[in-house]
Every structure is written in C-alpha cells, then in structure tokens.
Amino acid sequence: MVATKEAQKTVEDVTGEYKYGFVTDIETEKAPKGLSEDVIRFISAKKDEPEWLLDWRLKAYAKWLTMEEPTWAMVEYPEIDFQDIYYYSAPKSADDGPKSLDEVDPELLRTYEKLGISLQEQEVLAGVAVDIVFDSVSVATTFRKKLKEAGIIFCSISEAAHDYPDLMKKYLGSVVPVADNFYSCLNSAVFTDGTFVYIPKGVRCPMELSTYFRINEANTGQFERTIIIADEGSYVSYLEGCTAPQRDENQLHAAVVELVTHDDAEIKYSTVQNWYPGDKEGKGGIYNFVTKRGACRGKNSKISWTQVETGSAVTWKYPSCLLIGDGSVGEFYSVAITNNYQQADTGTKMMHIGKNTSSTIISKGISAGKSQATYRGLVKVMAGAENARNFTQCDSLLIGDQCGAHTVPYIEIKNPTAQVEHEATTSKISDEQLFYCLQRGLEVEDSVALIVNGFCKDVMQHLPMEFAVEAQKLLGISLEGSVG
Amino acid sequence: MVKILHLENPEIGKRFEAVRSSLTGWDQAWLDQLRAEAMTRFETTGIPGPKVEEWKYTNLGFLANENFAISNKARQQTEIKTLFDRAHMENIDGPVVVFVNGHIYPALSSYPDGHGISFAVFSENCQAFHPSLANIEYSSALNDLNRAMVTDGYSLEIAPDVVLAKPIQVIHIVTSATDMKLLPVRSQIIAGKKSKARIIETFIGAEGERYWSHMVSEVTLAAKAELSLVQFQLQGKQAIHMTELHTKVAEKANFSHISLQLGSEISRTELLNSFNGEFANVDLRGAYLGRIKQSHDIFTRINHDLPNCNSNQLYRGVLDEGGKSAFQGKVVVARDAQKTNADQSNKNLLLSRKAEANAKPELLIYADDVKCSHGATVGELDSNQLFYLRSRGLDEAAAKGLLVEAFVSEVFDDLDDEILRDKFKEKAAGWLAQELPS
C-alpha cells in the first residue's frame, strides 16, 4: 500500500494546499449582522430596487421563517447561526460605479491578477466577457457593447430589475420557485447580486460568457442569483468559476441558478468550483448549498451542466433539468474531488416530462483523505413522457482507506416506453495500474495524475477550452490536448 | 411547516389492552411484560409516514386509519385444505409446518424431527422465544408491533454438522373471514456449524380478504453453515404482506434467499444482513410481478463490517397495468471491510402504460480496496425480439410470454432443486397466462 500513500500526497497537492488563500483588504459597506425584514429592506434600498421585487423578497422571507433546514444529505456540519451572518456587503467604490477598468480599485485588480484572471488580459483575450462579482456587487463588465450589438442582455441582476422588469418578472423564480427548498428560499429573500443573461431568438452568442464569483469579506454569505434565458434557436455557453480567500470561519454560500431554454435553444453551463475547502484538520471552509435548475421548455431544446468540484468544505448541489419540451435533452457531467475533511453530496435530477426526451448523466467522484463524496441523483419519467431515454454512469475512485464514496440513485419510471440504464462502480487505483506506469518510467505523482485523468476523461471532454486549463491545474493532470 | 414523519393510531394501543389477556402465553409474566414494553416503544415511535425515506414507496397510511382485529382460530376445514393443496409441494417428501390465520394447525403439520433438530412452536413453548423477544437489537415500529401482538411462530435449531436431507415446508394460510385481521408471526432459525438446510415458506390467502400478514424472522448462521430460504408469496389480492428478515452470517457460511412476489395488494420484503465472520456469502434474489393496484417493495440492507465477504443481489420486476414496484437496495461497506465484493442488479419490465417501477440501488462505501457495483434498468419489451419471434410464427401473446418468462427466469435458473425451479416457473407462468391471454 505504499503507492496509496504517494497517491494521497498527489491528490493533496492537487486539492490540499489552497493556493488562492489570501484576503484583500478593501473597505466594505455592510448591512447589520443577522437577518430581518429591515435587513432585506436595506438590501433592496441599497440596490434601488422596484417595489415588486422588495415584496417578492419579503414574501420569500416570511416563507423561509416557516421552513426547516434539510437534513437528508450525507453531510455533517455545525449548525448554522443565520443571525451571525452579514447578508450584504459591497466594495465601497461600487457606489460610484466604475466606468472602465481604470476606475476600478487597484487592490481589486491585483486580487484578480493573483487569481490569474487579470481583466486587461481578459479583455485582450478574445471571446470572453467577464462580469466580476466581488463581494456581491458587480464592479466591472466587459464586452457588453459587443454583446449588445447582437441583442444579448448580459448584466447584473440588479440592473436587470431596473432595465428589464418584464423579463425579470416573467422568469425570476419561474424555474426554482421561492419555496423550493430552505436555501433557495433564503436566497430569494436576500440575494444581493448575480447575473442576468438573455439571448434573443436565433442568436448564437459570439463568445463564452463568464462570471467570476469571489467571496471576500469575512462572515459574508454570498447569495448569488443567476438567470439565463435562451430564446428560440439561440445558443449560449456560460462559464462560472470560483475561488475564495482563506479564513477560519465557515462561510455560507447559497446561490440559485435558473436556466430556461425555448424551442431549439441550447445552454451549456460549466462550473469550476474551487472555494476554500478548509484546512487539513477540517477547520473552516465554505458551505456551498446551491440550487441549480434548468427548464427545457421548448421543443428540441438542450441544457448541459458540466461541473468540476474541487473546493468547499461542504457541498450540497444538484444541477437539474426539467425536460418539458418534446425532444429536449438534458446532460450532466461532473467531477467531484474531495480531500481531507471535505464533504460533497452532489448529483442531478432529470425529470422527463415531454415526449422523446433524453438525458445523460456521467458522474465521477474521487475521494481522498478523510473526505466523503456522495452521488445522489434522480431520474424520473412521467407517465406522458413517451420514448424517454436515460443513461447514467457514476463511478467512484477511493484513494486511501479513510474516505468514503457513496451512490444514492433514484429511478422512478411511469412509462413503459422508457429506457433507463444505470451503472455504477467503485474502485481504487490498483497497484497493477501504478506499477505499469512506474515501470514505464513515470513518477508516482505523474502516474496518479495520469490515472485520475483517465478516470475523469469522459467529463473533462465536455469542459469549454477556457476552463480546461484551470481544471487541468485543479486535477493536476495533463490532458495532452485531448480537450476541445 | 413541520413535516409529519410519523403517523399515529391510538386505536392500536387500545386494541392491545383489550386483547392483552387473551394473547398467546398471556399467563407468562415475562412475556406479558415484553409485549407491553414493545407496545410502548411502538406508540412512542409511531407509524413511519411516507416522508420517512425507508417508506417512500410503501404507504403505511392504512395502518393509521384501519382497525385490526387479532386473527381468530377460524377453522373452515375445506377451505384450509384447498389453500393447503395449492401451496403444498407433495413431491417434496419432507416435514410440513402449517399455520392458519397466524396459529399453528397441527392437523396438517408434521414437525421436523430427528437427530440434531430442535423444533418448537411459539404457542406450545413460548419460552423458546424468550431470547429473541427480549432482544431489541432489531427494534423498529413494525417489529415492535409484531412483538407485542405476536400470535404464533416457529423456532428451528439445527445442530452442528447436521445436513437436512429434505427441505422443510412452512405454509402460512389465511382463510376468509369478515374482519380486517392482523397476523403477526415470528420465526427464528439457528443453523449450527457446517449444517445444511433448506426452508420453503409459502404464504397463501383467500381472495377478496383484507388482512395484514406480518412476519419477522431472525436467522443466524454459524461458521460454514449453509442455509437456503425460499419464499413464495401468493397472498390474496387485497392482502397486505410484509416480511422482515434479519440474518447474521458467520465465517465461510452461505446464506441464500430467493423469493417470488405474486399476490397481495401491498407487499414489502425487508432483508437485513450483517456478517459475523470473514469469507461469508450472501445471495439475495427474487422476482416480483404486479398489476392492478399491486405494489411490491423490496428493501435490502447488507452491512459489510468485516473484510472478504461477498454479497449478491439480483431482482427482476414485471409490472403491468396499475402495478407498482420499488427496489431499495443498500450496501454499506465499513472502513475495514477490505476485499468486499458486492453486486446489485435490478431490472424492470414495464408492460403497460400505467405501470411504475422505482429503483434505488444505494452504495455506501468507506473502504478503498473493494469491488462494488450496481446496475438498474427499466424498459419495455424489445420490439426486435418480439418481431423475431413473431416472424417465426408465434402469436403476439406467446411471443410476449416467452420473452417475459426468459426475463424472470434469470432469478431461479441457478436453483439446484428441480422441483423448486419448476414451481417457480409454474407460478410465474400462471401469472403471465392471466396477464397475456392468447
């Protein structure tokens, strides 16, 4: 079992020491600690929101007070004191609204540079527009003009509430209802910012849209809300990536993402999640309780989720697809790596409602150290969903004998024409595999990287180019140009 | 909004008090006390509601609303004989134990005896059940309800090195009567070191009767023991049938369970296994066939706490018009249980529009050097296969029948006993014949 120890070390190198652990010192403007109607009014006022949105928030808050935290996930964490969290903080300079990068706080820019996503570079690099969320307020948006020419709306959710109230009213909460679950309800009450994307009919978004989320201020919960609407025949690829500074206290993140595709439209949503996972003793780290759901409302529409999850102390995340339109397609590709004391309970839901709908689920879990990774998924075929197809594969790789890998799939079929297949395996890196690589002159680290890479390949292939590099770094593997 | 996880029915407790002094062994103080304690636990726990994860696919709502009478010793001899003949396998020339409405029926029984076999019946010797009734390791709401109300049962102990030449048949018969009846029966089987035995249990009931048959079995296998438990469930179409089987399997022992679910409106089969020694094997398999309001629920939990053990689960379901099923399999591999092999396979065939199949093959793994896999599929008959058979001159019903039979037969094809295999085939084919009229 010598190899296993080495392997563990490699995975630690990959996910263990958090490279992005630093705190940027910027004055922030905070709402008082805790949650109350007043705090919600404060947030709403701060955002200069229309009356209907405030009402919407207050209704959500009233509902939230009656709800209980879910306990069914296989994760353990100390009870969260929801009154011990700041629900709003914004970089001070945001009030003036920087018109260009030059106006942006230089400290902020330096933070991004450390993260390797300097805006200048981003601007120069063709194809990517970045809407940066730094502690809950958008501070800079690029390429908007170019997108505007194509008729695409790409703005913060607060702006959308002002400028496109009709669209907001129509879609906000339409996929993830306010009372869907405890955290989505909390988010509905206190969401501070996020991204709003609308792709008009027949438009293929000329570039990949990307938002970098970043949690900075201590004790600030991050409550993002993302809405992406792809109108008839349109296409958009959206990238979401996250890093956060190192700190001791647990931070709560409860985001909501809503996707809607109309006839023949497609949304590809990719995530690289690398928030602070806590230290080696399991202290600190982000709590990531996210509700992500896409509704394929139109015929032949498609929603594809790809995620690489390496961070967070506790992850609770199930990007789902409602396949309503006939012939619609849902996909879920996931790699989840957990190390040390990380816990991840993640998976997907595929709800087959329309006829001839199909879905694919590929989930790869890698657990090392004392971590626990769980795949939890539901494939449901309703009585009217003729000819539904699903293929599910979830594989787990265990590195070390202190970790756990779990699979909890639910299959619920009410239509005989459905064809549903589910496969799962659990294994470890075999000594034979390692020996084979070593014998050919590879270092142990490289060998493990190679094997892990091979294990995850099915998923990595679906990542957009922009993310491939980061994912590569995160997995510590060389993809040898196989990702496109 | 507080979720109601457990349901209550205070009538059950009242009913218990009313019949307490007439229950089997009422004059034994220890038994009466254990019964009362079990009832208290049941009332404290409550009846698991549909929000309880384990009971997601079987609704116990009927328990909250209906009032059960404890079954009486009704003796409609001709009816008993008819049901007995349907269940009894004459060509297996072995001992037969018959229960009617949850009470032993000596007239048709011939108890197992001979060297190394201790056999006891609860109503004749309740002392033999003391350890099992006092042991609350397996305590759960329904187990406790069973414990409090238990009417009868059997206990079988096989001495080390004893090999039973003939299988033991146990037949549970429910006759027609008017009351909604509760039939709580228990059994305990202890297979000694290197012993070998097979038990065939058949549950059969009168049609059109609403009754709740609840059986709790505790099975222990000593090192190198071999035990095969076969269960045919042929209850009446309105019955509720539940079995709860706890097994403990020691070093190098082999336990196999094979079941066929055909009858009852609601059936639930719970198989809960733990290993007591290494290199032990557990094989669970079964077929469930359901239609019109029928719901079958297979619930397994295999705890691999020790290394080098194997478990295999193989379940096939066929659901037609209005039939519903659930397979909830759970394999838990503990930290030190290296070299575990665990496999779960669940396939379902939906024959009609209004059928429903649910599967939840769950793996919880805490050890790294293990081989665990599960597979689950749901689908309809392959149209190419159908076409092939029809092009060979078979009519549609015959072609379908052949394919369904082949699908189900995977469960019992490996059985080493030809008589049993034929019985499985006959029963399954009977269901299919009703199903697919030619």
Q: What ipTM was predicted for this assembly? A: 0.78
Q: The tokens of B262 are what?
A: 């055909």
Helix then strand then coil, % of chain B, to nearest 5: 25, 40, 35
Name which of A93-97, A207-211, B148-152, B354-358 the model is least confident about. A93-97
Q: How far apart are CA B202 and CA B84, in angstroms?
A: 10
Q: What is the pLDDT of residue B63?
A: 79
Q: What is the pLDDT of residue B32?
A: 87
| 3-state secondary structure (DSSP) of residue B192 | coil
Average pLDDT over residues B246-271: 93
Smallest Cβ distance to B358: which of A412, A417, A422? A412
Cβ contacts of A158 within 8 Å, gap of 6 or more = A47, A48, A49, A138, A193
Using 50, 70 and 90 to split pLDDT, how confident is the model at B268?
very high
Residues belonging to chain B:
438
Q: Is the same domain home to B86 and B138?
A: yes
Using 50, 70 and 90 to split pLDDT, how confident is the model at B1?
very low
Is residue A25 over pLDDT 60? no
Q: Is the same domain home to B403 and B342?
A: no
Comparing A441 with A213, the larger pLDDT belongs to: A441
Comparing A259 with B209, the larger pLDDT belongs to: A259
From the CA of B352, how many Å to the nearest CA of chain A?
6
pLDDT digits (tens, 9 = 90+) for A255-268: 899 999 999 999 99
Listed residue (B294, B290, B282) closest to B255, CA to CA: B282
Smallest Cβ distance to B358: which of A68, A383, A411? A411
Q: What is the pLDDT of residue A93?
A: 41
Is residue B222 over pLDDT 90? yes
**Mean predicted lDDT score pLDDT of chain A:** 77
Q: How far apart are CA A22 and CA B194, in angstroms?
A: 65
Average pLDDT over residues B295-299: 94
Is residue A11 over pLDDT 80? no
Q: How many CB atoms lie within 10 A of CB B21?
A: 9
| 3-state secondary structure (DSSP) of residue B433 | helix
Chain B residue numbers with beta carbons less than 8 Å from the beta carbon of A4 are 368
Q: How far apart are CA B101 and CA B73, in angstroms?
A: 7
Given an 8 Å threshold on Cβ–Cβ distance, is B1 in contact with A66?
yes
Is residue A126 over pLDDT 60? no
Q: What is the pLDDT of residue A363?
A: 92
Q: Is the same domain home to B376 and B401?
A: no
Q: What is the pLDDT of residue B259?
A: 93
B256 in any annotated domain: yes
Smallest Cβ distance to B356: which of A413, A424, A428? A413
- The percentage of chain A sitting over the pLDDT mark of 90, rounded to a whole number, equals 24
Rounded (10°) CA dihedral A7, A8, A13, A17:
180
User: In the listed set B381, B401, B425, which residue is the last one of a domain according to the structure?
Assistant: B381
Given an 8 Å threshold on Cβ–Cβ distance, is A413 in contact with B372?
no
Q: What is the pLDDT of residue B179?
A: 63
- The percentage of chain B sitting over the pLDDT mark of 90, rounded to a whole number, equals 39
Does residue A176 contact residue A256 with C-beta atoms inside 8 Å? yes
Q: How far apart are CA B280 and CA B86, in angstroms?
A: 36
Q: Is the same domain home to B157 and B249?
A: yes
Q: Is the same domain home to B281 and B416?
A: no
Is residue B371 over pLDDT 70? yes
Crossing angle of the two packed helices A37-46 and A51-65, in degrees rounded to 10: 150
User: In the listed set B360, B381, B402, which residue is the last one of a domain according to the structure?
Assistant: B381
pLDDT digits (tens, 9 = 90+) for B152-206: 999 999 999 999 989 999 999 988 875 658 889 999 999 999 999 999 999 998 8
Average pLDDT over residues A195-207: 89
Average pLDDT over residues B258-268: 92
Does residue A200 contact residue A234 with C-beta atoms inside 8 Å? yes
Tell me the residue range of the domain where B286 lies. 71-381
Comparing B15 with B257, the larger pLDDT belongs to: B257
Comparing A349 with A79, the larger pLDDT belongs to: A349
| 3-state secondary structure (DSSP) of residue B292 | coil
Q: What is the pLDDT of residue A73?
A: 80
pLDDT digits (tens, 9 = 90+) for A384-393: 899 999 999 8
Q: Specify which of A60-69, A442-451, B74-83, B310-319 reaches the highest per-range mean pLDDT.
A: B310-319
Smallest Cβ distance to B377: which of A72, A383, A421? A421
From the CA of A72, how many Å to the nearest CA of chain B?
9
B28 in any annotated domain: no
Is residue A105 over pLDDT 50? yes
Please tell me if residue A420 touches chain B, with a CB cutoff of 8 Å: yes
Q: How far apart are CA B266 and CA A274, in angstroms?
A: 48
Q: How many CB atoms lie within 10 A of CB A88?
A: 25
Q: What is the pLDDT of residue B163?
A: 93
Average pLDDT over residues B25-49: 86
Interface of B with A (CB under 8 A): 1-3, 53, 335, 338, 348, 350-380
Crossing angle of the two packed helices B396-409 and B383-391, in degrees rounded to 10: 120
Q: How many CB atoms lie within 10 A of CB B140?
A: 18
pLDDT digits (tens, 9 = 90+) for A140-164: 455 667 778 888 888 888 888 888 9
Q: Is the same domain home to B388 and B339?
A: no
Does residue A75 contact residue A288 with C-beta atoms inside 8 Å? no
Partners of A195 in beta bridges: A156, A226
Q: What is the pLDDT of residue B428?
A: 84
Q: How far apart are CA A92 and CA B280, in angstroms?
A: 67
From the CA of A346, how many Å to the nearest CA of chain B?
14
**For chain B, what is the domain count?**
2
- Please provide residue A285's backbone torsions phi and psi, each rounded to the nearest 5 degrees: 100, 160
Chain B residue numbers with beta carbons less than 8 Å from the beta carbon of A427 are 370-371
B64 in any annotated domain: no
Q: The tokens of B322 are what?
A: 């209005």
Is residue B54 over pLDDT 80? yes
From the CA of B358, how many Å to the nearest CA of chain A?
4
**Mean predicted lDDT score pLDDT of chain B:** 87
Q: What is the pLDDT of residue A211?
A: 66
Given an 8 Å threshold on Cβ–Cβ distance, is A424 in contact with B358?
no
Is residue A438 over pLDDT 80? yes
pLDDT digits (tens, 9 = 90+) for A295-338: 999 999 999 999 888 878 888 899 999 999 999 999 999 988 88
Comparing A3 with B94, the larger pLDDT belongs to: B94
Please tell me if residue A401 touches chain B, with a CB cutoff of 8 Å: yes
Using 50, 70 and 90 to split pLDDT, how confident is the model at B210?
confident
Q: Is the same domain home to B377 and B387?
A: no
- The percentage of chain A sitting over the pLDDT mark of 70, rounded to a whole number, equals 73
Closest Cα in chain A to B339: A427
Listed residue (B396, B320, B382) closest to B351, CA to CA: B320
Please tell me if residue A422 touches chain B, with a CB cutoff of 8 Å: yes
Does residue A426 contact residue A457 with C-beta atoms inside 8 Å? no
Q: Is the same domain home to B376 and B389?
A: no
User: In the listed set B357, B381, B405, which residue is the last one of a domain according to the structure?
Assistant: B381
Q: The tokens of B328 are what?
A: 């909830």
- The percentage of chain B sitting over the pLDDT mark of 70, rounded to a whole number, equals 95
Q: Is the same domain home to B265 and B326?
A: yes
Name which of B48-62, B191-205, B282-296, B374-388 the model is least confident about. B48-62
From the CA of B306, how many Å to the nearest CA of chain A?
14
Q: What is the pLDDT of residue B60?
A: 83
Q: How far apart are CA B416 and CA B411, in angstroms?
A: 12
Listed residue (A404, A420, A301) closest to A360, CA to CA: A420
Q: How far apart are CA B53 and CA B76, in angstroms?
A: 41
Using 50, 70 and 90 to split pLDDT, how confident is the model at B391?
very high
Crossing angle of the two packed helices A182-190 and A37-46, in degrees rounded to 10: 50
Residue type, position B168, single letter? I
Please tell me if residue A363 touches chain B, with a CB cutoff of 8 Å: no
Q: What is the pLDDT of residue A432?
A: 86
Q: Is the same domain home to B275 and B298?
A: yes
Name which of A69-78, A191-200, B261-270, B275-284 the model is least confident about. A69-78
Q: What is the pLDDT of residue B72?
A: 64
Please tell me if residue A399 touches chain B, with a CB cutoff of 8 Å: yes
Is residue A107 over pLDDT 60? no
Q: Is the same domain home to B321 and B274?
A: yes
Q: Is the same domain home to B279 and B395?
A: no
